[in-house]
Amino acid sequence: MGKAAKCLVITLSVTAALSSASITHAADLVIAMPNWPSGQATANILKVGIAKEFGLDAEIKELGELTAFVGLESGKVDIHPEVWRPNLDDVVDKYVTQKKVVTLSGRGVDAWQGLCATPAAAKDIKSITDLTDVSKTAALDTDGDGKGELWIGAPTWSSTGIERIRANGYGYAKNLTLVEVEEEVAMAAVDAAVATEQPMVFACYAPHYVFDLHQITRLTEPAYDPRKWKIVSGEDPLWISRSSASVAWPTAHFNIAYASAFGGKHPDVARFLEKVDFTTEEVTQMSYALEVERQKPSDFAEAWVKKNAARIDGWAKP
């Protein structure tokens, strides 16, 4: 065999070995990432923090909420950074309470959900009942079809379906077009509406940067009443038509979730997740950094973990 041929064989062998190594290498764990900014930031902070404290490499996958829970049960997903309740109460009941294949961390972040109005809209629309008044909602019409528009959330969010149920329950679904688009698109529309003094009403939640960026008004509505809040499991294909809600959302909060099997295999990481204690102010800062300052989630997480190194070390202590 000639010298050139031998070099070619060696090169091909090395390349094949490297390719094989890259194919067989897998991350130590998988973190599901939601498609909203604070969830994206938290997923990356957990990835960097776990690598720092335990030397484990995490792969981040953007997944819908129901898909993430199926993954937590099957072992294809190990951690979900932001499980909102009561949005996912039925899913939590199935996987956490009944099957016990998923564990929710004991510490959560208090939250709020409802509808908000830009300053121009808030002049006439102050209560959710105002949305049933066609003379008032006509101002929300931006496409000239005679019906106002109202963003109710991203297509994959469980809260989006519940907002549609609430729209049916209150009656304003009849005279408003309920819009489902990704949050980034909706928030850009809010920015434009405020800048041009265009009335706009939209689904909102806190903690969220929009309250720091604009003078947004929360619409008032009847207090939560469990007798008027009947939400069927989202796994039922007809859950929206079979559900009813004509009151405000109950008190909300969100927690980290992890696969119970993963917690058994890595009790040190499970203890770490149980100690994570983000504040509402920090969650707001996360969403502001990603959506307003346009920071990459991975870059934000690296800087956040470096700045909070001592605190993260505390999370990792037994």
3-state secondary structure of 278: coil
User: What is the pLDDT, as a whole number, of residue 210?
Assistant: 96
Q: Where in the chain is the domain with CATH 3.40.190.100?
A: 112-245
| CA 221, chain centre distance (Å) | 24
**Which residues contact residue 317 at a Cβ distance below 8 angstroms, ignoring those fewer than 6 apart?**
none
User: What is the pLDDT, as a whole number, of residue 159?
Assistant: 95
Q: Give the type of residue at 57.
A: D
User: What is the pLDDT, as a whole number, of residue 25?
Assistant: 57
Cβ neighbours of 265 (radius 10 Å)? 12
User: What is the pLDDT, as a whole number, of residue 318?
Assistant: 86
User: What is the pLDDT, as a whole number, of residue 2?
Assistant: 47
Give the residue-averaged pLDDT of 148-176.
96
Q: At what angle do helices 297-307 and 309-316 cross, to 10 degrees?
A: 80
| pLDDT interval class at 13 (50, 70, 90) | very low
- Environment class of 125 (CB within 10 Å of its CB; exposed 0-12, middle 13-18, buried 19+): buried
Give the residue-averaged pLDDT of 122-138.
97
User: What is the pLDDT, as a whole number, of residue 20?
Assistant: 41
User: What is the pLDDT, as a whole number, of residue 106?
Assistant: 87
Cβ neighbours of 93 (radius 10 Å)? 12
Element (H, E) at 261: helix 260-265
Which residues does residue 257 pair with via DSSP β-bridges, in sequence order? 80, 104
| pLDDT interval class at 26 (50, 70, 90) | confident
Asked if the model's pLDDT at residue 5 lies above 70, the reply is no
Q: Where in the chain is the domain with CATH 3.40.190.10?
A: 27-110+252-316
| pLDDT interval class at 116 (50, 70, 90) | very high
Q: Where are the alpha helices (DSSP H) in 36-182?
A: 37-54, 65-74, 89-92, 119-122, 134-137, 158-170
Structure tokens at 74: 């099957």
Asked if the model's pLDDT at residue 10 lies above 70, the reply is no
Pairing of strands 229-230, 244-245: antiparallel
**Domain 27-110+252-316: which topology?**
D-Maltodextrin-Binding Protein; domain 2 (3.40.190)
User: What is the pLDDT, as a whole number, of residue 233?
Assistant: 86
Give the residue-averaged pLDDT of 192-215.
96
Is the bond preceding 207 in cis, omega lying within 30 degrees of 0? yes
User: What is the pLDDT, as a whole number, of residue 7?
Assistant: 41
Whole-angstrom distance, CA of residue 34 vs CA of residue 42: 10
User: What is the pLDDT, as a whole number, of residue 234?
Assistant: 82
How does the average pLDDT of the chain come out, rounded? 92
Asked if the model's pLDDT at residue 218 lies above 50, the reply is yes
Question: What is the DSSP secondary structure assignment for residue 140, as one 8-state letter?
Answer: G
Closest CA to 32 of 66, 7, 2: 66
Structure tokens at 245: 């809600």
Whole-angstrom distance, CA of residue 26 vs CA of residue 223: 49
Nearest-5° Cα angle at 109, 103 to 115: 115
Pairing of strands 148-153, 201-206: parallel
| 112-245: CATH architecture | 3-Layer(aba) Sandwich (3.40)
What would the pLDDT profile of 65-113 be if each residue is shown by its tens digit?
999 999 999 999 999 999 999 999 999 999 999 999 999 998 899 999 9
